[in-house]
Amino acid sequence: MNPALPKSRPCVQERDKGLGFRIERKSGVKRRLKINGVIMFMVILSIAFFPTIFFRNKRNDFLDQIMEIFGVALILLGQIFRVSGRGYKSEYSKDGHSLIQGGPYAACRNPMYLGILLIGLGVVAMLFKWWVVCIFLLVFIVRYLLLIFKEEKKLKATFPLDYPDYQQRVPRILPSWTLLLQKDISEYLPLKLSWLKKEIGSILAVLLIAVFLESWEDIKNKGIAIYFKEAIVYLAIIILFICVVIYLSRRTASLEKDVSDKS
């Protein structure tokens, strides 16, 4: 009788459990993508049929420009949170068998949802009337906050000792200003170019669509010469965004090297 056989069974069970978790997670991602696709289709359809209801009437040039610049900045900041959260999770979660508490997850428990919130608010600030913020927040609460509550129940069941403590220390979505000011940005927003490459398509799509819609309205009403001034401002913001990305990626690589040298 081979004594090694009984010892191999737990390994098979653990492997099957991990495989089942990955299949469940993939099916959940597909379901979310379908729901998000339906929501986006309904939003685009509503805006296409009733543009005057949703789009902002640009009467105050200075205020409009401030809102547009603020909107672009929010979109890019949201993308950094989203990319950092997704990349950090994929690299350190060990297929969901480890509770992540570092990086962006030290600033808030749901950095990817925070990124989506910032991107949505940025698009609204660039293009739409003030009351659309209320509609967006309502959709966000119904779509994502309920999803967050559901995920928290699963995490409590999976990590009954660690998650309640983590839940007490770290806010759900909005980071603490004290934490943000005390720490270097690279500590809670690590970034790698490999993470960014995976998301570059969605980043460019959101930014270009928002800028195109805003630009088309300006060019139609004021002429292309006026728009060149705004284009220079947008270019400056994008250059600043690239500089922030380079800084974060280099700092992340430096911090990882320091940890590796110490170990």
Please report whether residue 44 resides in a domain: no
Neighbouring residues of 234: CB distance < 8 A, sequence distance ≥ 6:
72, 211
Given a cut of 80, whether residue 117 has pLDDT beyond it is yes
Please report whether residue 120 resides in a domain: yes
**Cβ–Cβ < 8 Å for 159, 86:** no
- Residue-wise pLDDT for 22-34, tens only, equals 444 555 555 665 6
Confidence of residue 65 (pLDDT cuts 50, 70, 90): confident
- Count the domains in the chain: 1
By residue range, what is the domain housing residue 223?
Answer: 59-262
- Residue-wise pLDDT for 99-111, tens only, equals 899 999 999 999 9
Given a cut of 90, whether residue 246 has pLDDT beyond it is yes
Neighbouring residues of 103: CB distance < 8 A, sequence distance ≥ 6:
84, 88, 92, 188, 189, 190
Please report whether residue 69 resides in a domain: yes
Please report whether residue 187 resides in a domain: yes
- Residue-wise pLDDT for 159-182, tens only, equals 999 999 999 999 999 998 887 888
Please report whether residue 47 resides in a domain: no
Please report whether residue 3 resides in a domain: no
Choose from 37-46, 48-57, 128-137, 215-224 the range with maximum mean pLDDT.
128-137
Please report whether residue 23 resides in a domain: no
Given a cut of 50, whether residue 10 has pLDDT beyond it is no
Please report whether residue 202 resides in a domain: yes
